[in-house]
Amino acid sequence: MLDLLTSHFNAVFTSLRLRGKISKGDIETSCEQIRQALLESDVALEVVESFVAQIAQRSIDALALIQPGSNQAKAVFEVVNSSLVEILGGSARRVRFSKNPPTVIMLAGLQGAGKTTLAGKLAKFFADQGNTPLLVASDLQRPNAVTQLQILGQSIGVAVFAPEAGNGVGDPVKVAQAGVEFAKAKQYNMVIVDTAGRLGIDVELMKQAGDIRDALSPDEILFVVDAMIGQDALRTSQAFLDGVGFDGVVLTKLDGDARGGAALSIASLTKRPIMFVSTGEKLGDFDIFHPDRMASRILGMGDVATLAEAAKAAFDGDTSAKLEAKFASGQDFTLEDFLDQLQAMSKMGSISKILGMLPGSGAMKKAIDSLDEGEIIATKSIVQSMTPIERRDPKVLNGSRRSRIALGAGRAVSDVNNLIDRFSAAQKMIKQVRNGATPAGIPGMAGMGMPAIAPKSAAMRPKKKSKSGNPAKRAQEQSQ
């Protein structure tokens, strides 16, 4: 969603880098380009004006202080980066846990903003961290909101307090209060309260949200807002801030084609931090918001920190340790290991999402967008159609086995042949790498979802056996 902004920032910095010495006039031109880009991306006018004035002044100050011969474009880049981090809210803030559990989190926002979906995502996120959340169904207005929450809770194994069926019936304040009492009695350490929204701001909506707030005194009120509604997101957040008040913001639908305006304006306008972002309809499409990582993405430097975290979570200790041990002991990398890796990679999300986090991915956008995710699924299904013996030793794969595999995977035999050929070439290359060759790309694995593997250190490489000085022993070794 930030592609437009990223490409504008790239253009500005490419032109600055081409100038050896940056003049005040260059700064002014760049600032005007940035101003236009931010306005085009729906950033609120007052935020744009103060941001541009700030980077202009800071850049001029930075250039005045810079040592002759230093990289001036880099100095301006750093000014823009740190100013972006500031308008995005500075540093990430975590949810404040109450000293007297349960910690109560109330969600507020318009109907359709994604509150109920978010309630499920938050519950999963906190449960995965060892908490015991209880979901409370206080949206008694929107048709099926209660059932939706129950289904979500069931899918993640989190309890849902839903004494009323909703659909316009029941008192949401009473449900919320009873939910907190229930959590206390049953020792849940968190309560996440889903509340009703309306299609637009109205007095009744604000009053109901205000009544729930007064009845619960929540530890956190999170305002949930759809990033796709552009400038309306700002008007709505101001109305909720005045009418109900909130402690943090959750931006949803960041996967859509929103231009980033809400993300860039909301924190500085409301003086409340963006705490989480929602990037899709699935429960896993959810991230803690990090202003510095967002700034890094906007400036085309990718988000390597998030990528590393996702990889760490996906490649669980066992898989990585198993692979490392195999590598160190000189055993072959097999199709079974490959399948483990493909499975771990699919846990990290779509390949385009993973590649999009790499620095410079903006320039590869077209290539990333045209990536065929289906290829990876097809590769996985071919490997899954093999028996464990075949995965361990593809040499046994004669014609009839290949036909059987192709049939099982719903692919052509030529696809199976192709995969095996590319795998064998890669396996050979891995052997060479292990024996000390540089791991400069593993040919044939492109498009197979295969992360490069390189030996951690010389110590990990299996030692070549030294030849014995005893001629008889050497002859015996050679015959082995």
Q: Site residues (CB under 6 A) for ligand GDP? A: 109, 111-117, 142, 145, 197, 252-253, 255-256, 278-281, 285
Q: Closest approach of Cβ 194 to ligand GDP, in Å? A: 7
To ligand GDP, the closest distance from the beta carbon of 113 in angstroms equals 4
User: 254: which residues sit within 8 A by CB, 6+ positions away?
Assistant: 1, 227, 263, 277, 278, 279
Q: CA-CA distance, 248 to 263, in Å (whole number)?
A: 13
CB 287 within 8 A of CB 277: yes
Considering the complex, state which of residue 77 and residue 286 has its C-beta at the smaller distance from ligand GDP. 286
| Residue 150 C-beta: closest distance to ligand GDP, Å | 13
Q: Which is nearer to ligand GDP, 277 or 299 (CB)?
A: 277
Q: CB-wise, 85 or 136, nearer to ligand GDP? A: 136
- What is residue 224's three-state secondary structure? strand
| Residue number, 225 or 269, with CB nearest to ligand GDP | 225
Q: How far apart are CA 408 and CA 307, in angstroms?
A: 34
Q: In this complex, which beta carbon is closest to ligand GDP, that of residue 146 or of residue 335? A: 146
Please say which residue, 219 or 285, places its beta carbon nearer to ligand GDP.
285
Residue 42 near residue 256 (C-beta atoms within 8 A): no
Shortest Å, Cβ 111 to ligand GDP: 4
Quote the least distance from Cβ 224 to ligand GDP, whole Å. 6
Minimum distance of ligand GDP from residue 152's CB (angstroms): 9
One-character DSSP codes across 93-124: -PPPPPSSSPEEEEEE--TTSSHHHHHHHHHH
Phi/psi for 64 (5° steps) reads: -70, -30
449, 341 in Cβ contact below 8 A?
yes
What CA–CA distance (Å, rounded) separates 150 from 355? 35
Helix or strand or coil: residue 140? coil
Name the residue type at position 389: I
Strand 248-252 and strand 274-278: the pairing is parallel
CA distances from 444 to 15, 428, 449 (A): 37, 11, 11
| Cβ distance to ligand GDP smaller for residue 278 or 427 | 278
Min dist CB 348 to ligand GDP, Å, is 18
Alpha-carbon 421 to chain mean position: 34
Q: Residue 453: beta bridge partners?
A: none
Beta carbon of residue 114, minimum distance to ligand GDP (angstroms, whole number): 3
Measured from the CB atom, is 28 or 281 closer to ligand GDP?
Answer: 281
* Closer residue to ligand GDP in complex, CB, 26/285: 285
Q: How far is the CB of 349 from ligand GDP (least distance, A)?
A: 13
User: Is the Cβ–Cβ distance between 291 and 88 less than 8 Å?
Assistant: yes
**Quick one: tokens of 88?**
């995005």
